[in-house]
Structure 1
């Protein structure tokens, strides 16, 4: 048993997708910090935030899926696993994390192997498994990963989103929040016995052995019309739809393993997922920007961790109406009001529901970041937009 566990771990850590995922996480962190500095002259979160945020959710999701794959005996051949490695790497060349979803990667792999099954090709280009075994198994694995991706986006996608400034269609500076996540899920699947040294199990008349395979699930969204949590919930809907379709296809193929049915199903899942994602995108584009300049207040587009603003409970999307008895309407008036009492401040806040509340707290006298709130600055003012 110990030898089997070590063999499983070795297959995970020698897998190319493991190192591709680590490299991509590092690039996401470096790019995010550069954009935050360009917008606010400071970083909001450290470069390691992407690693810290995604490790535990990835392990939990991978563990939950592995329980199901072991219980269901989902078996893959080495050619299939090779295809599930090459396609995600090719998609990374497009630098779009939204392509890293089983709705696209696994659908493309499935279509390729189904088409190749109609021709006389070498064994390395075939699944080397019976259609009644690999077709429903691949759709079932796709469904499990899509359900996991939906949960990860909904509950982890908006955590520590990155505030940024950009120009609207009318040429005005507006605030937005960028969400970029890449989850690296360790999932147990089975391969035919004898391909690797290790413990073998028997399902029916087939002997298989377990291996640990990394699967990459990506998410990318830049929202200007909604709070990050709301945008993430909206973006999770297409993944739920695709997961349900994959599950229906798996059930249908267990009863009737037709390659033509599998081909139509894979194409349908990819097209429906793309269409539903585009629908969500278009609906947001029709909404007015949320993070803009206000006439009689300043809207918070971001909060620096550990700052006085964070300790006072200020939240993204709220408006600062009054500071130390002074009405504020931009970063200059806010900075001037803070100078009235450089070690303590009293704020009147309008929350996201439109209700007013009073908060107060101590400041760090002499520190560069007086409060730790990130604001949408006026375009003509090129001063520091961290107050």
Structure 2
């Protein structure tokens, strides 16, 4: 971040722009060109530890999936390299769109506050991983800044510098960044919904081995904002959506802020697809709360707008608690079935996925043979190599028949994971919900 200070750019050519009924405004250019500005932004991004910590934890969580899947199912369901690369590409595309909004609306931060939010995120993540989320950390930082404005500082008090720093926190800009991050999370969850669910086996409170489905979606989105150098000079933007109109004597640079967020959860009763749809609605409500707070703070210059920050955190905690209680109080949807084998997961692109077999359904017959174990399932399937006919009970208990020709090579790609009674070690029964909360799941020995 010290290099960003040395590379702070000053205008070399200043032109006065006149508007009817307004004071003189200054159009400015930069001495180093846009290449130098981008260099400052990259340096600011690379010096920020937050995206390294979040990315490492996301990868660790996925690697733990692979180890468990090989023990439980004998195959690897989770893929890391390609999905992670695709997520980064999608996150960068969404971050580019969000950056345009932030730059045009004139979001300005200092590198001190960028570092403060990053360190606060990591510190909160040590308490509980879901607090590592950037929107949550920003909301907590804004809440502290709001409280600090009502604190009188006495000379010589040890915390005077901390209070002074919080009082100069760029609350409006950070509220806007939290809003853009919230909308980015909503869109990325919708965009990656098909690749977010993974199978797991857990031990219930009654000691039974039951199935569960995990949602694992983590993102690190680069957001570009205007940055003041180390002196802490604020940039005055004139004309609303015209960030290039600034006061003449102020240096300026760009900064890339890593916004990390996502949803990690484990459910034994609720359908992950339903949860993600509902979560997007709540996410939209949170964005509306932040947008209302920003509008109040921007147009009415009222500190009341910043109350949106603590409301954001409280609302998310309420939603998380409600979903956890609902899932805990409901009957498991993926327990071993007496009438057949319980379907837990179908691998994408496999024969069972193409046939439309769904998690939570019970397969009672395959090629007219009753099945009660995983061995029965595969043995009956192999009896007719050219055709597959499944009789299943759906979630409502209704019988449906699924039949389809089996082409060469598909016979060995059934891709069906089921839950049957077994003594293999399963995950300890917890129902986490929040960014990186599945890290707390531990396999019983």
Question: What TM-score range do you get, normalising by the shorter chain?
Answer: 0.7 to 0.9
Equivalent in the alignment of 2:255: 211
Mapped partners of 2:162, 2:319: distance in 1: 37
Mapped partners of 2:47, 2:423: distance in 1: 52
Equivalent in the alignment of 1:357: 402
Equivalent in the alignment of 2:52: 19
Larger Rg: 2
8 Å CA contact retained: 1:234, 1:280: no
Superposed, 1:368-379 pairs within 5 Å as 371-379=414-422
Identify if the C-alpha distance between structure 1 residues 110 and 380 changes in structure 2 by more than 3 Å, giving closer, same or farther: closer
Equivalent in the alignment of 2:24: none
8 Å CA contact retained: 1:84, 1:109: yes
Equivalent in the alignment of 2:88: 55
Per the normalisation by structure 1, the TM-score is 0.83
Alignment length, in residue pairs? 372
Equivalent in the alignment of 1:385: none
Q: Once the two structures are superposed, what CA deviation does each residue of 1:201-246 show, in whole Å capped at 9, x if it has no partner?
A: 6445466422212111131111222332122112333322222111
| Cα drift, residue 106 of structure 1 | 0.8
Q: Once the two structures are superposed, what CA deviation does each residue of 1:104-155 show, in whole Å capped at 9, x if it has no partner?
A: 21111112333445336338961585x7xx2222222212211222232344
| Cα drift, residue 348 of structure 1 | 3.6
Which deviates further from its counterpart, 262-271 or 101-110? 262-271
8 Å CA contact retained: 1:77, 1:127: no
Q: Which runs of 5+ in 1 are unaligned?
A: 383-387
Equivalent in the alignment of 1:69: 102
Mapped pair 1:126 → 2:165: yes
Instruction: State which of 111, 123, 140 in structure 1 corresponds to 2:143.
Output: 111
> RMSD value over aligned CA atoms?
3.2
Q: Once the two structures are superposed, what CA deviation does each residue of 1:127-186 show, in whole Å capped at 9, x if it has no partner?
A: 585x7xx22222222122112222323442552411011122333222111112220101
8 Å CA contact retained: 1:39, 1:165: yes
Mapped partners of 1:113, 1:361: distance in 2: 64
Which deviates further from its counterpart, 137-146 or 332-341? 332-341
8 Å CA contact retained: 1:301, 1:376: yes
Mapped partners of 1:99, 1:51: distance in 2: 22
Instruction: State which of 189, 200, 222 in structure 2 corresponds to 1:153.
Output: 189
Per the normalisation by structure 2, the TM-score is 0.73
Identify if the C-alpha distance between structure 1 residues 127 and 72 changes in structure 2 by more than 3 Å, giving closer, same or farther: farther
Mapped partners of 1:125, 1:238: distance in 2: 35
Mapped partners of 2:392, 2:145: distance in 1: 58
Identify if the C-alpha distance between structure 1 residues 125 and 220 changes in structure 2 by more than 3 Å, giving closer, same or farther: farther
Mapped pair 1:78 → 2:121: no
Per the alignment, in what secondary structure is the counterpart of residue 332 of structure 1? helix
8 Å CA contact retained: 2:148, 2:167: no
Per the alignment, in what secondary structure is the counterpart of residue 94 of structure 2? helix
Per the alignment, in what secondary structure is the counterpart of residue 126 of structure 1? helix
8 Å CA contact retained: 2:350, 2:415: yes
| Cα drift, residue 299 of structure 1 | 2.8
Q: Which runs of 5+ in 2 are unaligned?
A: 1-33, 155-159, 238-242, 426-445
